[in-house]
Amino acid sequence: MKNIDPARRRGIRIRAGILCAVLGLGLGVVLNGAWDIEVADGDAWRTLAEKQRMRRLRVAPKRGTVYDRAGTALAISVEVPSISIDAVEVLRGIDTKTAPGRLEAVAARIAEALQMDATEVADKLRRGKRFAWLKRRVTAKEVDAVRELGDSNQRLPIHGLSVEGEGRRFYPHRELAAPLLGFVSPDGQGREGVELSLDEQLRGRVEEIRGLRDRAGRLIFSEGIQDDAALAGHDIFLSIDQSIQFIAERELDAALKTHEAKSGSIIVVDPRTGEVLAMASAPGFNPNDYNLADPSTLRNHGIGDVFEPGSTMKMFTMAAALSANSVKPDEPIYCEDGHMPIDNVVIHDTHVSKWLTPTQILQVSSNIGIAKIALGLGEEKLYQAFRRFGFGENSGLALSGVANGVLRPRSRSWVPVETAAAAFGQGVSVTNLQMAMAAAALANQGRLLEPLLISKVTDASGLVLSEATPQVRRQVVSPRVARMMAEMLSSVTEGEGTGIEAAIPGFRVAGKTATAQKIDPATGRYNDINYVTSFVGFVPAERPRIVVSVVIDEPSAGANSGGSVAAPVFRRVAELTLQYLGVRPDGTRAVKLTDVAEYAKVDDPAKAAHAVFDAKRAEREPNEAKPEADLRGRESVKVPSVEGLPVRSAMQTVFEKGLVPVIEGTGRLVRTEPAIGTRVAKGSKLVLVFEPSM
């Protein structure tokens, strides 16, 4: 610098100073920006960086399984492939402004692979979302086609398409118990039945997990699931028995076809616990293809339909009168020769009679006789009795769509004709479930139980979270009256009773028929065309094991009475169910009015009941076979060849052979116990073991 001209040296210094100043200013700007980023606006920038490098995923747990009482799966979740699309990744490197046709070309290739509309694919690409469902529940062929599109070895691979595992609800037994179970929509929400009512428990808890992602947005590391409840929903065990449900549905379907009926339902209950063993509703649907079903078939007629019950209400009217001592068991009632005016209405009897006892009134279903008993009881006591039996109130069943029925309130006095009509089931409406539970109260020493459908709830590890126990709602009538009613109702299925078609050889059946006229909506009056036929009863009458309530709506072919339409259905369902449960027939004889009177004279109803029924067993006819001998002498059949069949087909074949199937597992049948070809007694149980096909 000393040898440099002073003027030039001064210029260099000035230029160096200016450069240092500029560099210093630039450094100040950088430091200021760093201060803003790191300190002043640090929180905001850190949040933005976190969003860019982290990915949040909402993990939907596997939906819980619905089982029957024996642990057979009725509704399960399986994983099926679906295709998702990352539009940003698909269009990376494609300028849609300069080359608009490229987008349509890519969309066309994707649409061809998935058999979709190219316009729909193009619309999803234009939205530019990092995630969107392209096609759900695809076939294996479509999965292969998508993977081929993304193969890097081909000339123009398409990236951004992913094969995602997605849960789908599957019902292995197809139509079995479909209106009871309901179905699940593609968004994972339960619809109808158990799937809707217990949706929150079945779905489990959705958890959000965080993880690092690469430039394409793919998750490469996650923090993991902290809550085990996010892995799977709870499992539900129903009180339903799959075999009994199949029996009820098969007989109900046959009855609807035979009588060309509109709809129907059958409910089977264990009167000792209130457990619902079967809840059949027809017509039904296949929940695997619910979108193809008629909306009317989704309805559970057993709990959602209300109807005027007709003569089945006579059993509860009679029980109320006996409980109030307003009528004696052997008291003769004048029945007006089948014709009785009351107010501005004339009541008629189908079986014209002059004098009838209470038992005979039920046996021949006399409207006049029961109307007189109701008028003697009084409107207030009749109303309260119906309430005690559970009519006009919530049944307590934990399902959506359960109707309460209609029992006219006592805000005003009933005129005599209203009291008389209510006594034989007109002017009131009930559900089949209410009718079954009310009859179960008479079968269970007068105790009304809550219907029990959900036996227990467990988590994915099998830990029991809740377990139901029988709940007594109230004591409706005394055990003595309940025993008397069992005797009286046994006369309905014997001798000249209206329900002789419900009689089961070897068992005493207690029940009641009903043929209720329906009101024409156009006129508001009862018509002689449309009827609701029903039969409700329990068996064995002396020690009831099951209650079966059958309702057939609008039978149109041939006979249309409860005794000819519903009673035979009851017999077939009850007989097969008793065989399945292993209940053996006992000695029987016809009901006598003296038996009913016996209960009225003894203070201890339990002793009275056992004394009468033990006497009946001792009075068997000499040629009547004992149960053991009867079983040994039954016709034998060979176990049919059912290997490889699905559950429903195998059960149908076994039933046709006169055997009672017991189901284990799901899928295809792999073996039977006893083995195929073995000769067994007709009516025996046959264990069918199923395994999923590989």
User: Nearest-CA neighbor of 533 among 296, 269, 261, 251?
Assistant: 261
Q: How many Cβ atoms are within 10 Å of 127's Cβ, its own excluded?
A: 9
Distance, in Å, from the CA atom of 294 to the CA atom of 308, rounded to the nearest integer, reads 26
Distance set, CA 329 to CA 222, 315, 536 (Å): 77, 13, 22
Residue in 311, 323, 400, 491 annotated catalytic:
311
User: How far is it, in rounded angstroms, from Cα 534 to Cα 569?
Assistant: 10
Q: Is the peptide bond before 61 cis (omega within 30 degrees of 0)?
A: no
Give the pairing of strands 685-691 and 660-664. Answer: parallel
- Please check whether residue 281 is in contact with residue 300, taking contact to mean a CB–CB distance below 8 angstroms: yes
C-alpha R_g of the chain: 36
- Tell me which residue of 435, 433, 450, 486 sits closest to 322, measured CA to CA: 486
Count of alpha carbons within 13 Å of 176, Cβ hemisphere only? 27
Tell me which DSSP letter residue 409 carries: -
Q: Which residue has the tokens 């001592």?
A: 325
Cis peptide before 295 (omega within 30 of 0): no
Compute the distance between CA of residue 64 and CA of residue 78 in angstroms, rounded to an integer. 11
Cα gap 367→389, rounded to integer Å:
21
Could you give the residue ranges of the DSSP H alpha helices within 69-175?
87-90, 100-114, 118-127, 140-149
Classify 590 as helix, strand or coil.
coil
| Among the listed residues 509, 510, 570, the one whose alpha carbon sits nearest the alpha carbon of residue 248 | 570
Give the amino acid at 120: E
| Residue 311 is among the residues annotated as catalytic for this protein | yes
* Residue 688 β-bridge partners: 663, 672
Query: Minimal CA–CA distance to 321: which of 376, 260, 254?
Result: 376
Taking the C-alpha atoms of residue 510 and residue 567, their distance in angstroms, rounded to an integer, is 12
- Alpha-carbon distance of 529 to 11, in angstroms, equals 119
Residues annotated catalytic, as ranges = 311
